Amino acid sequence: MQGDASNRPARLPRVPVTVPPAVMASTLLTFLRRLGGALRSGWLMLGVTLALLLAVEGALRWRRVRAERAAHTPPGSYVAGDPRREPWWETWRTEFDAVSRMEWHPYVYFRRAPGFRGSVITIDSLGRRGTPQPRVPAEPRLRVRLYGGSTMWGEPLREDRTIAAEIARRLQPLAGPGARIEVTNLGESGYVFTQEVVQLLLDLRNGERPDVVLFYDGLNDVSATIQRGVAGDPQNESNRIAEFQLGRALDRTRYPEGLARETGPLGAALGQALTRSGLVEWARGKRPPRVPAFIPGDSVAARTVRTYVATVRIVEALAAAHGFVPVYAWQPNLHATPKRLDPYEKNLMTQIGRDPLHSVAQVAHRRIPAQLDSAMRSLASGRFVDLTGLFKDDTLPVFVDRVGHNTEAAVPGIVDGLWPALRAAVEQKLAARPARS
């Protein structure tokens, strides 16, 4: 009957189970052996996988190195205008690689690391490219400062063939017997007009007193406007934004207390390592390329001109306050040149024609000169020079790469174009400062 205790089975007494020590030791030893085997197998699999990944990564990187070397290798047959066929090219490229290290400079972002002396490139103690010229007497009669991007800096030109060197040679006879005109090349790769004016501000603040200042611009300003749609910003500003964010991510002091403070910088570092992996780059290359959206060429021209003119007004105010004469030159460029292209330049045009940026840049460069001429006529009459049409109908090799850098043979013609305005500015200052008897 339910609930009748007499029908319930009797409970058996609990008997403690004792495992002999020998059995426990044997079981533990078996477990440890199996765990060790599993770890060893896992480690071997991980090691083999890592080795395969490293091998593939190394192969991809080596292929990239070979492709870069092939890009520097002269073609089998000579093509007029190709600087890679020049006997000095390898020396220049080696020295240029040596001076490509930049140092951070407030407000202008970067300049070359100072102190390099090669056979075709020299960098002085202030990070400026050297310009051959007389060094005596110690006190120059006039000081001429040249600002610009890589074309003014002199890429890819030997030291005595840069625009600055050509200007220095032509200016010295104007100084008079026993005197000299000091020419300083303040060009830097990638600089836009606004950066150059900021550099001028810093130079003036540091006590420099130039007599004549030449700004040589165009290519970088248009490219910077196309990149982000904002005229006057430095080139590749998106890189600076990414670098700023990465710096904050790697800074442990910026993280709150706790695990995020310790793991955040490590995660950021690993993420950057992965994005630079050859495998990741290879995988990205398999995806259909994303065509960037650019603002129309007419808008690029209008924004660039508006910002350029506004910046010129600042320079004119500085000139009035500090007593120097500014000269402005808009450089020739491959996008809108009217010259007769040689075979090498035709090949360059074919290359840049595949770039979606080219069609926008071409429209902008063709619109800007007329707009600038009109605006600058009242701001800097006789001191603005448009060099866009300088080599019209000329067969001389002028451009050496897709960027629009110039050949050494083109430099005298470039200086010819800006010489009347530059010479007038120099003679104006010379007249106000008679030679010492």
User: Got the DSSP string for 7-18?
Assistant: GSPPPPPP----
Rounded to whole angstroms, how far apart are CA atoms 22 and 81? 88
185 with 411: CB under 8 angstroms? no
- Domain boundaries, given as residue ranges, for the chain: 142-229+297-432, 238-286
| Positions of the chain with pLDDT under 50 | 1, 75-78
Where in 92-220 does DSSP place strands (E)?
A: 102-105, 109-112, 116-117, 122-123, 142-148, 181-185, 212-217
- Which single residue is written with the structure tokens 């501000």? 201
332 with 388: CB under 8 angstroms? yes
Q: What are 110's two structure tokens? A: 């970067």
Q: Is 299 left (phi over 0), alpha (psi -120 to 50) or beta?
A: alpha
| CATH class in words for 142-229+297-432 | alpha beta
Read out DSSP for 190-210? T--HHHHHHHHHHHHHTT---
The CB density around residue 318, as the number of other CB atoms within 10 Å, is: 17
For residue 76, what pLDDT is reported?
44
For residue 192, what pLDDT is reported?
98
Q: What are 341's two structure tokens? A: 């292209």
pTM, to two decimals: 0.83
Pairing of strands 102-105, 109-112: antiparallel
Nearest to 414 by CA among 175, 187, 167: 167
- Which single residue is written with the structure tokens 């290290």? 101
Cβ within 8 Å of residue 210, ≥6 positions away: 143, 144, 145, 203, 324
Q: What b-and-e string marks burial along 97-127, b requiring 16 or more CB atoms within 10 Å of the CB? A: eebeeeeeeeebbbbbeeebebebbbbbeeb
Helix, strand, coil tally for the chain in percent (to 5): 55, 10, 35
Beta bridge partners of 385: 329
For residue 219, what pLDDT is reported?
96
Nearest to 190 by CA among 229, 153, 231: 153
295, with CB counted inside 10 A (0-12, 13-18, 19+), is middle
Which residue type does 244 have?
Answer: F
φ and ψ at 92, to 5 degrees? -60, -45
- Which single residue is written with the structure tokens 């009035």? 320
For residue 285, what pLDDT is reported?
67
> Which DSSP letter does residue 129 get?
B
394 with 339: CB under 8 angstroms? yes
Give me the half-sphere count of Cα atoms (radius 13 Å) on the Cβ side of residue 210.
Answer: 30
Rounded to whole angstroms, how far apart are CA atoms 92 and 265? 40
Q: What are 230's two structure tokens? A: 């904002």
Q: Is 75 left (phi over 0), alpha (psi -120 to 50) or beta?
A: beta
295 with 279: CB under 8 angstroms? no
